[in-house]
């Protein structure tokens, strides 16, 4: 490991390999960073602000950087961007939970690290950047889209939860840096959205920052080939491979039986398959009585309930899990016979706690072709470590609406569980036209025409920063204008404000009802 100590990200204070000092002919921190990567590509290169040198937790470095495609930092008291980045980015990588390992491209120059050969992959693209914070965030932002695992990692420092640590961190980037970064790493429309949000919400007119941004280089969607970086994590070598499968279902008998046959043929058999069958008719009986009589090569647990709802169904199933891994499946999947075995192999290779599988319909094109940190969560195509899945439950406030999977994904992230998408591990989604796990009834708020959906509003209020919420609202208003019939801008704006308020009122009503009801799972 090589440690590069800096002063304010500019001056090299000292370079250490073990206890030995390295000498360089330059005091420019970034130039030395590139030189070290060239001379020591096999070494982990760590950076640290000189005032935090005594805070580094050297004993945890092997645990943190357990394979070579990991970049991690921790904002002890500073991060590069302010919350204003949330105006144009509503993904989960913005509002960071500093108490746990949290997947994010937002890097701090306070303390962090990356493998030498990995940072060299970005030299041709970012070699001209002379601001350490801008460089680290650029590497992570582009790297995350190309298979680099980027984290805010509290284990980098000793006593990470010490009471005298600052609750909030200060930002270092100027307004001009923010606009330049957004131009370089996002679609152009995001730059204009940022400008609009500054005018409307910050009461500022950053014309100079906007104009300057157009003279910067574009990095958006650039490819960086990290495929030759050898990855072999030691993190999960001693972990088990048992899998429990949970399947909520409603009115899809034939599809469900096919899924069970696919599970029956797996080269790595599930330990247990938990089926939660729903039928709202109080006089109904199960459509699949035979599944309890067939000789399955795994334990099959079948619940039949008249209470419908995706959240309740999955929570019922989660009460039963006790395996090392939990596979969240849909009842209209088709799977190759080795999909579970391959998934566990990849999980162990990368040392993961969660793997979301490629979930496409027949003929659907592949959008993301690289393994990457994922901005959402698939409740019908994900394998989650049992230590997380067994403790978390789907929030019943989202019942009969949408975003319950996004909410569960955020619960996982805030528990320290990163979400990784794998394009090469594919499940076919048959997309059955009816049934599944949601009752086919109109939501009670449909006639009021809220915008957005009240359950989505609950999600926004629960996890977004104020800047993210405002940015979402501005983008929604602009985008929806072109797909609706009101063309008078003034009338449209009044209508959308009214619909937004209706959504907020419904969200409050749902939450009050949820709080007034004792949370339960029902069979």
What is the average pLDDT score of the chain?
93
Mean pLDDT of 432-445: 65
Mean pLDDT of 301-322: 95
Mean pLDDT of 7-34: 90
Q: Is 415 exposed, middle or buried (0-12, 13-18, 19+ CB in 10 A)?
A: middle
Residue 515: per-residue pLDDT: 75
Rg of the chain taking only CA atoms, in angstroms: 25
Q: What is the DSSP string of 22-57?
A: E--S--BHHHHHHHHHHH-TTSEEEEEEGGGGGGB-
Contact 432, 249 (CB under 8 A): no
Distance of CA 503 to the CA centre of its chain: 25
Sign of the four-CA dihedral 457, 460, 463, 466: negative
Question: Nearest-CA neighbor of 383 among 414, 409, 357?
Answer: 357
pLDDT at residue 160 is higher than 70: no
Q: What stretches of 98-156 show up as alpha helix (H) in DSSP?
A: 116-120, 123-126, 132-144
Percentage of the chain surpassing pLDDT 90? 86
Q: What is the DSSP string of 429-463?
A: E---SS-BSS-----TTGGG--SS-HHHHHHHHHH
Each residue's pLDDT tens digit, 172-207 = 999 999 999 999 999 999 999 999 999 999 999 999
Angle at 266 between CA 260 and CA 267, to 5 degrees: 165
Residue 520: per-residue pLDDT: 42
- Give the Cα separation of 339 and 337 in Å (integer): 6
Tell me the pLDDT band of 483, cut-offs 50, 70 and 90. very high
Mean pLDDT of 447-466: 96
pLDDT at residue 466 is higher than 50: yes
pTM as predicted: 0.94
pLDDT at residue 437 is higher than 80: no
pLDDT at residue 50 is higher than 70: yes
The more confident residue out of 435 and 123 is 123
How far CA 323 is from CA of 240, 245, 247, 271, in Å, comes to 9, 9, 15, 7
For 338, the token pair is: 């080795």
How far CA 36 is from CA of 14, 61, 114, 275, in Å, comes to 12, 19, 12, 55
Residue 436: per-residue pLDDT: 54
Q: What stretches of 202-309 show up as alpha helix (H) in DSSP?
A: 207-213, 253-264
Give the other-Cβ count within 10 Å of 407's Cβ: 22
pLDDT at residue 167 is higher than 80: no
- Give the Cα separation of 183 and 177 in Å (integer): 10
pLDDT at residue 487 is higher than 90: yes
pLDDT at residue 506 is higher than 90: yes
Each residue's pLDDT tens digit, 333-381 = 999 999 999 999 999 999 999 999 999 998 888 888 999 999 999 999 9
Question: Nearest-CA neighbor of 299 among 331, 274, 268?
Answer: 274
Decide the pairing of beta strands 272-278 and 299-305.
parallel
Residues in CB range of 67: below 8 A, 6 or more apart: 231, 232, 233, 235, 350, 351
Which residue bears the tokens 């970012």? 126
């Amino acid at each position: 490991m090589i440690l590069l100590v800096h002063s304010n990200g500019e001056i090299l204070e000292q370079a250490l390999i073990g206890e030995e000092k390295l000498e360089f002919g330059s005091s420019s921190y970034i130039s030395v960073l590139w030189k070290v990567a060239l001379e020591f590509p096999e070494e982990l290169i760590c950076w640290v602000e000189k005032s935090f040198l005594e805070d580094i937790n050297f004993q945890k470095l092997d645990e943190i950087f357990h394979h070579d495609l990991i970049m991690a930092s921790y904002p002890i008291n500073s991060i590069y961007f302010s919350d204003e980045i949330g105006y144009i980015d509503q993904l989960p990588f913005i509002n960071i939970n500093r108490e746990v390992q949290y997947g994010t491209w937002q890097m701090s120059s306070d303390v962090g690290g990356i493998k030498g050969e990995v940072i060299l992959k970005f030299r041709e693209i970012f070699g001209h950047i002379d601001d350490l914070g801008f460089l680290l965030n650029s590497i992570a932002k582009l790297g995350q889209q190309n298979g680099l695992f980027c984290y805010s990692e509290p284990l980098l420092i000793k006593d990470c939860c010490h009471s005298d640590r600052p609750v909030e961190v200060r930002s270092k980037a100027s307004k001009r840096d923010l606009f330049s970064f957004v131009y370089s790493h996002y679609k152009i429309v995001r730059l204009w959205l940022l400008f609009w949000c500054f005018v409307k919400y910050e009461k500022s007119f950053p014309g100079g920052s906007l104009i300057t941004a157009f003279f910067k280089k574009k990095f958006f969607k650039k490819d960086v080939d990290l495929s030759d970086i050898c990855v072999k994590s030691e993190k999960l070598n001693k972990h088990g491979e048992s899998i429990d499968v949970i399947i909520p279902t409603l009115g899809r008998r034939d599809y469900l039986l096919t899924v069970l046959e696919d599970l029956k043929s797996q080269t790595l058999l599930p330990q247990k398959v938990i089926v939660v069958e729903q039928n709202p008719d109080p006089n109904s009986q199960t459509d699949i009585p035979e599944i309890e009589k067939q000789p399955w090569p795994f334990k099959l647990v079948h619940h039949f309930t008249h209470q419908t709802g995706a959240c309740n169904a999955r929570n019922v199933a989660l009460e039963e899990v006790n395996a090392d891994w939990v596979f969240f499946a849909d009842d209209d999947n088709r799977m190759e016979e080795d999909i579970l075995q391959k998934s566990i192999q990849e999980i162990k290779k990368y040392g993961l706690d969660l793997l979301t599988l490629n979930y496409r319909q027949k003929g659907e094109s592949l959008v993301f072709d690289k393994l990457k940190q994922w901005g959402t969560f698939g409740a019908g195509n994900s394998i989650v470590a049992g230590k997380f899945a067994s403790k978390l439950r789907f929030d019943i406030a989202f019942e009969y609406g949408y975003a319950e999977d996004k909410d569960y994904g955020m619960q996982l992230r805030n528990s320290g569980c990163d979400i990784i998408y794998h394009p090469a591990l594919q499940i076919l989604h048959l997309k059955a036209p009816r049934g599944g796990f949601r009752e086919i009834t109109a939501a009670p708020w449909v006639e009021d025409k809220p915008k957005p959906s009240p359950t989505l509003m609950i999600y926004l209020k629960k996890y977004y920063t104020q800047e993210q919420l405002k940015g979402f609202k501005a983008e929604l208003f602009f985008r929806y204008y072109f797909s609706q019939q009101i063309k008078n801008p003034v009338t449209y704006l009044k209508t959308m404000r009214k619909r937004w308020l209706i959504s907020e009122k419904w969200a409050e009503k749902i939450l009050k009802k949820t709080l007034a009801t004792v949370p339960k799972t029902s069979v």
